[in-house]
Amino acid sequence: MTFAKIERRSLPGEVYDRVLGELVAGSLTPGQALPSERALAEALGVSRPAVREAIGRMAHAGLVKVRQGGATTVSDFRRTGGLDILPHLLLPGGDLDLAVARSILEARLAIGPVVAGLAAERHGHAAALPAAVTAIETDTDPVGRQRQALAFWELVVDAADSVAFRLMFNSLRAAYEPALVALSAVMADEVDRIDAYRALAAAITGGDADAAPRLAHDLLSHATQALLHALDLLEGARR
Amino acid sequence: MTFAKIERRSLPGEVYDRVLGELVAGSLTPGQALPSERALAEALGVSRPAVREAIGRMAHAGLVKVRQGGATTVSDFRRTGGLDILPHLLLPGGDLDLAVARSILEARLAIGPVVAGLAAERHGHAAALPAAVTAIETDTDPVGRQRQALAFWELVVDAADSVAFRLMFNSLRAAYEPALVALSAVMADEVDRIDAYRALAAAITGGDADAAPRLAHDLLSHATQALLHALDLLEGARR
DNA sequence: GGTGGTCAAGTGGTCTGACCAGTCATGTCG
DNA sequence: CGACATGACTGGTCAGACCACTTGACCACC
């Protein structure tokens, strides 16, 4: 028997999610004034510090603009938000946002090969790659394989030795992981191609900066196609 | 006469920057325990709520791990941080981090062409591009030209109609903007190539998804080369 | 008619002090 | 020696207060 983790969410976190939910849902439009902290605190049944902390995070993330004395106004998160709000946009209120999912897939397909190329150029810390491939191969669970594949890519990003791409990967993973279980069926196609992983690992460790991007693109494009197709179907079904 | 805006920094923001500074400077290593909120508050001469809010933001950004009852521990920001901490890594304490700068340039060079390609594919909302090129051309101030060029790229990203790339752009811009003035000399080379911008704009509005990435790469690679060279020189000088 | 001054109300900014809840090291007892 | 109570310490939350600031209305003045 497995026990689901008891979730202990913090109060400010809850408030943050709640307000952000209103924001991405569109009931709070850019430029509009947020209710005052005191009013929000009363409406949500929490104390002002909790609301303050949540709003402070939102301001830090560029989602709202607070001005002392004046009202806190909503910013256009598409113009001012950072990559870290991606998870909230992907699953606003539990439903998958198809446009966001599509854009994440595009980003994955575009960036993966670049990172693989950089990793091949610098092939310094890529010694662990073959073991990571074996780990994918050994894992029989579809979800487990996805996690192993994620770990594989993490090593690739590490080998690329680029802070910017590393942080980008972290943000994208944060958006991807919650949907990981739901995607396991569609992704099985990709994570089963052990040979493709092995070839990519070999190109990187071998320092083949020409082949690595090509192999990475080849590896990623299959599932990307499948997923985009699935998204199209979903979109049709929702209409 | 122009007046510089009076900047009013918030106390929690100050605390955040201070602690993050310690973190990226390496005096707080991953796994290490942060001083308690009360101790930090006393050490920094502020109240506990201010410290709490700062730590709350850091936890939200994945920089530290707080556990009720236990100590707050430092995470490895390279493994858990999001793209939004990039500005802090680029200018830790005012000095430019060369490796970070290099990685941002690589990311720019890799992503720009992809976004341009997507924009050409979808050429839906690219009507404003020619005007943006004219805006670059009209501006005589080197720094102003850079800002106009940034606005140009913003339109390109918009035309690409990809949320993920949009947010990525926002994060990268946040890292880039503080250094904009310092870079104006090296970037002048790029922003003076009005014809290259015009050609790229034409390819995008014309829906030429083959030429757009090529033109974008061509446009970006020049300054990238120059900047990487400048970074090498800087690195040599620092040694 | 425009300018600037004054004032009150409302907002965010910060602090204090308090209590709750969870963790951990300590020391005691079996 | 080991299991276990216990107390010190940590973060989580709250209420209430005061300060700093913005806004808008009103008013006196030029």
Q: Residue A52: which of B45, B73, B167, B11 has the closest Cα?
A: B11
pLDDT at B184 (0 to 100): 83
Q: Nearest-5° angle of CA A104, CA B115, CA B165?
A: 35
pLDDT at B3 (0 to 100): 59
Domain identity same for B60 and B143: no
Strand C nucleotides below 7 A of a protein CB? 10-18, 21-24
> Which of B's residues 140-179 have CB atoms within 7 A of nucleic strand C?
none
Mean pLDDT to the nearest integer, B60-71: 87
Domain identity same for B136 and B233: yes
CA A38 to chain B, closest CA, distance in angstroms equals: 17
CB B82 to CB A174 under 8 A? yes
pLDDT tens per residue, range A101-122: 999 999 999 999 999 999 999 8
pLDDT tens per residue, range A52-101: 888 888 888 889 998 888 889 999 989 999 998 898 888 877 778 889 99
Other Cβ atoms within 10 Å of A64 Cβ, number: 24
pLDDT at A220 (0 to 100): 95
- CB hemisphere CA count around B149 (13 angstroms): 28
Indicate which CATH number applies to the domain containing B161: 1.20.120.530
pLDDT at B171 (0 to 100): 94
**In chain B, which residue's Cα lies nearest the Cα of A53?**
B53
Domain identity same for A92 and A75: no
B 100-129 → A contacts, CB under 8 A? 100, 102-104, 106-107, 110-111, 114, 118
The answer to the question of residue B1 being in a domain is no
Buried b or exposed e, range B221-237, using 16+ CB within 10 angstroms:
eebbebbeebbeeeeee
pLDDT over 90 at B107, yes or no: yes
Domain identity same for B66 and B15: yes
State the pLDDT confidence band at A6, using cuts at 50, 70 and 90. Answer: very low
Interface contacts A/B by beta carbons within 8 Å:
124
Quote the mean pLDDT of chain B: 88
Give the integer Cα–Cα distance in Å for A226 and B36.
Answer: 50
Domain identity same for B97 and B181: yes
Domain identity same for A110 and A184: yes
Domain identity same for A55 and A138: no
- Which domain covers residue A96, as residue numbers? 87-238
Residue A101 · residue A90 · CB < 8 Å? yes
Q: Does A79 touch chain B (CB under 8 A)?
A: yes
pLDDT at A120 (0 to 100): 95
DSSP B239: -
pLDDT at B7 (0 to 100): 60
pLDDT over 50 at A140, yes or no: yes
Of B50, B81, B112, which residue constitutes the final position of a domain? B81
Length of chain B, in residues:
239
pLDDT over 60 at A8, yes or no: no
Residue A155 · residue B71 · CB < 8 Å? no
Domain identity same for A183 and A126: yes
Give the integer Cα–Cα distance in Å for B25 and B18.
Answer: 11
pLDDT at B189 (0 to 100): 83
The answer to the question of residue A6 being in a domain is no
Q: Nearest-5° angle of CA B77, CA B79, CA B81?
A: 45
Question: Smallest Cα–C1' distance to nucleotide D15: which residue has it?
Answer: A47
Which tokens belong to A33? 């004034």
B142: left (phi over 0), alpha (psi -120 to 50) or beta: alpha
Residue A194 identity: I
Strand-pair partners of A74: A64
pLDDT at A103 (0 to 100): 94
pLDDT at B126 (0 to 100): 79
pLDDT tens per residue, range A198-239: 999 999 999 999 999 999 999 999 889 888 888 888 878 876
pLDDT at A12 (0 to 100): 85
The answer to the question of residue B5 being in a domain is no
pLDDT at A2 (0 to 100): 40
The answer to the question of residue A28 being in a domain is yes
The answer to the question of residue B6 being in a domain is no
CA A181 to chain B, closest CA, distance in angstroms equals: 21
pLDDT at A4 (0 to 100): 42
Contacts of B107 in chain A (CB under 8 A): 162, 164-165, 168
Give the integer Cα–Cα distance in Å for B107 and A162.
Answer: 9
Give the integer Cα–Cα distance in Å for A111 and A107.
Answer: 6
Domain identity same for B60 and B92: no
- CB hemisphere CA count around A150 (13 angstroms): 22
The answer to the question of residue B69 being in a domain is yes
pLDDT tens per residue, range B157-212: 999 999 999 999 999 999 988 888 888 888 888 888 999 999 999 999 999 999 99
% pLDDT > 70, chain A: 95
Mean pLDDT to the nearest integer, B32-61: 88
Of B35, B57, B81, which residue constitutes the final position of a domain? B81
Mean pLDDT to the nearest integer, B215-225: 92
Q: Residue B117: which of B19, B222, B217, B7 has the closest Cα?
A: B217
Q: Nearest-5° angle of CA B118, CA B124, CA B129?
A: 85
The answer to the question of residue A2 being in a domain is no
CA–centroid distance for A45 within its chain: 31
Of residues B126 and B1, the one with the higher pLDDT is B126
Q: Which of B16, B53, B167 sits opposite A83 (nearest CB)?
A: B167
Point out the least confidently predicted range of A126-135, A170-179, B88-97.
Answer: B88-97
Mean pLDDT to the nearest integer, A38-65: 88
Mean pLDDT to the nearest integer, B135-147: 92
The answer to the question of residue B217 being in a domain is yes
Domain identity same for B122 and B232: yes
CB B79 to CB A171 under 8 A? no
Which tokens belong to A135? 């780990």
E strand residue ranges, B70-182 = 73-74
- Structural domain count of chain A: 2
Domain identity same for A220 and A111: yes
CA A134 to chain B, closest CA, distance in angstroms equals: 22
pLDDT over 90 at A170, yes or no: yes
pLDDT at A7 (0 to 100): 47
Residue B114 identity: V
Of residues B162 and A1, the one with the higher pLDDT is B162
Q: Which of B56, B61, B167 sits opposite A12 (nearest CB)?
A: B56
Mean pLDDT to the nearest integer, B67-75: 87
Indicate which CATH number applies to the domain containing A75: 1.10.10.10
Give the integer Cα–Cα distance in Å for B9 and A232.
Answer: 47
Of A80, A97, A119, which residue constitutes the final position of a domain? A80
CA B60 to chain A, closest CA, distance in angstroms equals: 8
pLDDT at A5 (0 to 100): 42
Best residue in A20, A80, A83 for a mutation probing chain B (most B CBs within 10 Å)? A83
Give the protein-side footprint of strand D (Cβ within 7 Å). Answer: A 10-12, 46-50, 67-70; B 8, 34, 36-39, 48-49, 52, 55-56, 66-72
Domain identity same for A67 and A92: no
pLDDT at B2 (0 to 100): 56
Other Cβ atoms within 10 Å of B53 Cβ, number: 24
- CB hemisphere CA count around A194 (13 angstroms): 12
State the pLDDT confidence band at A20, using cuts at 50, 70 and 90. Answer: confident
pLDDT tens per residue, range A147-166: 999 999 999 999 999 999 99
Give the integer Cα–Cα distance in Å for A118 and A115.
Answer: 5
Diameter of chain A measured on Cα atoms: 62
